[in-house]
Structure 1
Amino acid sequence: MSLEKNNYVDFHCHPALKPYGKSFNYKTIGVNNFNRSRSNSIWHYNPPSIGDKLLNYIVNLTKFSQANFTSLSKGGVSVICASLYPIEKPFFDNKLKTEFLKDMASNFATGVGKKRVDAIQRMVNYFEDLDREYDFYLQLNNVVFTLPEGKFKYRIVRNYQDIEAVIEASKQPSTKITTICVILSIEGLHVLNSNIELPPNEDDFLANLKAIKQWDAPPFFVTVAHHFWNHICGHAESFTNLVKSQVDQSQGLNLGFTAMGVNIINELLSDTNGRRILIDVKHMSVASRQEFYDIIDNTPAYKNLPIVVSHGAANGLASFKDQTQKGSTVATKLNPVDINFFNAELIRIAKSKGIFGLQLDERRVVNKQTLKDTKSALSRSKIMHYRSELLWYQMQHIAEVLDAEGLFAWDCMVIGSDFDGIIDPLNSFWTAEELPFLADFLERHAYNYLQKKPFNNPDNNLEADEVISRIMTKNGMRFLKTNF
């Protein structure tokens, strides 16, 4: 990990989701293939074709691989939080009439393969699937791959000291291998359920959580909610367009925490049963987020708990009670849905010394009108300019909200791409390989904005390159040094 390289940090991506899914096409499932030409290799390079890009542009479906380790290597990413995600069964119980159409639509939407879809439709044990995905990462841990750009490997790290050791090793003249540090996380605590056909059993959920805490590399943080009811806490509506029209999220939608859910939160945050696992509030319903913040506020042991949003967006709305878009000059451009985060939450996250991962999903970062009004172009550089501005609106809004509160504006934002998490990426920034271009274009927007010295707090009027360096690398590394 040479210090001259980009050293980007991504707080949320899914390198294994597609190759692990494709492993179900082979005789032995769950094998992470050393041969990176095979679709069940986490290094399998599958950049989008013209047809893939058109498909994404027209119907917002992303079948190509975005966060395979070859793309991450080419994009200069040095640290990722790799999200383990056993896909939820209701995802494939859609409204289409025949099993064939259901399978085809589901495979089409996720790119994981029909046999993986079939396995999920039969699944009764999420925890077993989680264990198998964890093992998928372990299989090629520390294994060196030779690419045209040089020699690369990934290493699963257990703490910041492991990351420091990788950095120190990279400084040695004899080191000719670039290492990507992998921090594990989990998206959705439905994974604690080892028999989804029976009523939820708290003892079983807690036993599975205890087992996770005993892993050699337990997750740094977990996203408690995800797309469907998990008997722990209510979720926010997360689907749009085609998927929303076919998949039912209604059970548990917008509910708060169950009694079992509160116990699970306390077990996650306990340091008497293993290392504390931080809570990622993404995907929680408004009611669940309110209850979680109340738990923090009323529990002395959680006084200094940093709030994590691994992959999110601001909605421009003032607060849970005042749902008007304000707080910045671009607030009305943002998507005012409650899976996105309110200004009062942004302030809370910053004051907690937490982290806010900016996701690279067009559908989340701005509203439909802003997206519709975005200029079109044939030149790739112009497309990149216009589409990167959509993410810049998020950065500008968050910075202006924090500045108005008298806070430093540039130390809580990072990238949480959600690559390979079934997202609709910013056009022309299709995969991790394009992250250097994203950094360059964001710096242009930052430069144009910061020329005006717009902030009340003079500390916030930084140089553009420093702002982008913080968001792409420095903020994430500082948060990891403090908390991991």
Structure 2
Amino acid sequence: MKNLISDLHIHCGLKGYASEGHPDYKDHTIWDFYPAQEAALKKLNPVLRMAIKELAKSSQANLDACAAANLRAPFLAIYPVERQMFALEPQKPFKTLFDILLGGKQHAYLGAAVSGFPIEKVEAILAEVANDKDEGVNYYHQFRMERDYLLRQTETRSKHFPDFQFTIASHHNEFRELLEAGKTISGVFTVEGAHSFGHYLHNSTFKKTFDGLSPKERQVLENSFRRNITEVKTEDDGRHAPFFVTFCHHFNNLLAGHARSFSAKSDLALGLHKPGMRHLFNQEPGLNHGFSSLGREVLELFLDRKAGRRILIDTKHMSVAARKEFYAVIRRKRKEENDPIPIIHSHAAINGWFTLDQAKGKAETKDLDKGHFFSRWQINLTNEDILEMYDSDGIIGVVLHEGRMPGEGFKKAAGKLKKKVDKARAGSPRRARLEQELKDLYLKLIWSNIFHIVKVVRENRPGNHRPANGWKMIALGSDYDGLVDPMDSFPEVTNFQDLKSEMIAYLEGGKEICFAQNGVAVALPSAEVSELMFGQTAEEILDGILFGNTDRFLSKYFTEAYLGMETGEAEEDSESDIAVAA
């Protein structure tokens, strides 16, 4: 298993799927690199270019890159792109400015630049969004098309790694067998957004609550979720059902409230902000709500093994209110129904608040993160979240997202370093030193998020004759190719082996690691860092995070016995110590 990498949340196929059939990419497959839409970027006006400056625009996670990095276990997040990503609604204080700037074809250029989709694809989506008939969208059709694209891609081969093959595993035994065969990328299906199974009758439906729908809107939406989820759970015995579904995403799905995920840019003078993603998209409908009655029904249907293969739930993007209600459901099932259900949070960062109620009481503005190392927004994990996941035998994927993980203090320090790097002469010792300094800043942030999780578990849960160990619940969940702002020192999956080596060197070098004390970064004493390692070497810890912990989780929960039986408990925990071909 040495140097093997898994990724709990990654979008390897999104750009390829969006470009399929386009004449410029007729010879491209999921293996190939898709460049940024430079023509669209060049035609954007400067203000819009600034608003999306930090987003990754070319491929980060095509399968050639995965093969080069030995990332052979990607959890392939299928994402029918939400209409609201293209139906822009500029927000104050830049509403008037953006209304002017988005005139003509600027809207289409922006969509292509952000998503990496060909301009023709974006224009077709915009035509659907802007139709005068207020026609909605059947996301399930889009889900099936993207899933079928991924299945077709298993027949393709890489031009650069011709001995490699790409497969989709339907259970853990198959997953292991495929990896043991060597030179195989063994994907696992997941879905980002439960909206993927719904038919929303009108574009205006997204502005409403479920209780506020017309009788026809309500009937269409209810029936579509019941029919489509049942179909995917039972079709071919659920062989191609997703292992888990990220229940919420960026926008209103009328099932459960989402957390705010888009932010402004850094401050200008006099307290003004630069325009950023928060000012382009309207996340207000459904923001911070709890579950609707339909959402509760859909949740039960995903988990119900009588209705077909169980689909687990990923809590990323859920609002605080939705998370609290979901945790109560999971505790009840575990304690009263003897039904253990692991809580997944596939691409996470911590905020350091002790409780969900504390996080809920904080206004998500840039002032909340001003001067801070960690981002303290509600979308990130509180200590209460971490303990709920530990109690459920869940798993947390650590996200590599510079827009979501750090606070403004970190961003300011990183920004200054980036400017110094850019000014330093290429190949000079000064530039090399500055680049390593920037790397170390990112490594400190990643390790601090990880050690915070372990510290919270150790201090708040009893162990058997020794403190509770949270290491086995931590994995990688990069979110690469998911329209993210990556860490500059590790912008693509091809950097992941370097990331591993650098993380080992950082930990072995005794460099500073922090935890969050009620949202504020505090340095961990070196003696406590050693205690929190639980006798493991840095390399052993990274082997677990990058593959072993995910494999252990799959060995318990990605099985026919657990997912397919009407009742029953997960298989006995195993360390899965079978040798895997590198």
- Is contact 1:93–1:102 with CA below 8 Å preserved after alignment? no
Q: Distance in 1 between matches of 2:485 and 2:11?
A: 14
Conserved? CA contact 2:256–2:290, under 8 Å: yes
Question: How far apart in 1 are the matches of 2:178 and 2:113?
Answer: 38
**2:526 corresponds to which residue?**
452
Encode CA deviations 1:179-220: one digit per residue, 9 max, x unaligned: 011000000011122243162431221101112212531100
- Quick one: structure 1 residues 182 and 347, their matched pair in 2 at CA, closer, same or farther if it must change by over 3 Å? same
User: Is 1:135 equivalent to 2:148 in the alignment?
Assistant: yes
Distance 1:473 1:91 in 2: 33
Q: 1:381: how far off?
A: 4.0
TM-score (structure 1 length as normaliser)? 0.88
Correspondence 1:197-208 to 2 at 5 A: 197=202, 199-200=217-218, 201-208=221-228
The AA in structure 2 aligned to 1:395 is I
Tell me how large the CA RMSD over aligned residues is.
2.7
1:249-297 deviation digits (Å, cap 9, x = unpaired): 1000000001111011111001112111100000011010011111112
Report which of the two structures shows the higher radius of gyration computed on alpha carbons.
Answer: 2
Deviation at 1:389, TM superposition (A): 2.3
Q: For each residue in 1:316-354, what CA deviation from the matched residue of structure 2 results, as whole angstroms up to 9, or x when unmatched? A: 1111134499xxxxx962110001010111122122111
**1:225 maps to which residue?**
248
- Matches of 2:37 and 2:528, distance apart in 1: 41
Q: Does 1:389 align with 2:444?
A: yes
CA distance in 2, matches of 1:157, 1:412: 22
State how 1:161-310 maps to structure 2 within 5 Å.
161-170=173-182, 178-197=183-202, 199-200=217-218, 201-213=221-233, 214=235, 215-241=238-264, 242-299=276-333, 300-301=336-337, 303-310=339-346
Paired residue secondary structure (2:345): strand
- 1:423 paired to 2:484: yes
* TM-score, scaled to structure 2: 0.73
The answer as to whether partners of 1:408 and 1:457 remain within 8 angstroms in 2 is no
- Which residue of 101, 105, 108 maps to 2:110? 105
Following superposition, the deviation at residue 19 of structure 1 comes to: 1.4
Equivalenced residue count is 457
> Which 10-residue stretch deviates more, 274-283 or 459-468?
459-468
- Which sits farther off after the overlay, 259-268 or 101-110? 101-110
The 1:446–1:8 alpha-carbon spacing in structure 2 relative to 1, beyond 3 Å, is: same
Identity of aligned residues (%): 28
1:480 matches 2:554: yes
Shift of 1:46: 4.4
Q: Report whether the alignment pairs 1:19 with 2:31.
A: no
Match for 1:423: what amino acid? Answer: V
Q: Flag the 1:321–1:140 CA change in 2: closer, same or farther, 3 A.
A: closer
CA contact (8 A) 2:64 2:158 kept: no
Task: Measure the CA separation in 2 of the matches of 1:259 and 1:298.
Answer: 18
Summarize the alignment of residues 85-100 of structure 1 with structure 2, pairs less than 5 Å apart: 85-94=79-88, 95=90, 96-97=98-99, 98=103, 100=105
Q: Distance in 2 between matches of 1:370 and 1:351?
A: 31
Question: What's the counterpart of residue 341 of structure 1?
Answer: 381
Any conservation in 2 of the 1:81–1:185 contact (CA below 8 Å)? yes
Deviation at 1:23, TM superposition (A): 2.1
- Quote the residue 1:175 is aligned against: none
1:83 paired to 2:77? yes
Q: Compute the displacement of 1:143 (Å).
A: 3.5
Q: Give, in angstroms, the shift of residue 428 of structure 1.
A: 2.0
Instruction: Find the counterpart in structure 2 of residue 144 from structure 1.
Output: 157
* 1:466–1:56 distance in 2 versus 1, CA, 3 Å: farther
**Is the 2:37–2:112 contact (alpha carbons within 8 Å) kept by the matching residues of 1?**
no
Runs (4+) of structure 1 exceeding 4 A deviation are 46-52, 55-58, 455-459
Whether the 8 Å CA contact 1:227–1:238 is kept in 2: the answer is: yes
AA matched with 1:251: P
The unaligned stretches of length 5 or more in structure 1 are: 171-177, 326-330
CA contact (8 A) 2:37 2:116 kept: no
**Superposed CA offset, 1:216-266 (max 9, x none):** 311000001111111111100111232111110100000000111101111
| Match in the other structure for 1:317 | 353
Of the three residues 482, 497, 508, the one matched with 1:436 is: 497
Segments of 5+ residues of structure 2 without an aligned counterpart are 42-48, 91-97, 130-136, 203-215, 265-275, 363-370, 422-430, 461-466, 512-524, 559-582
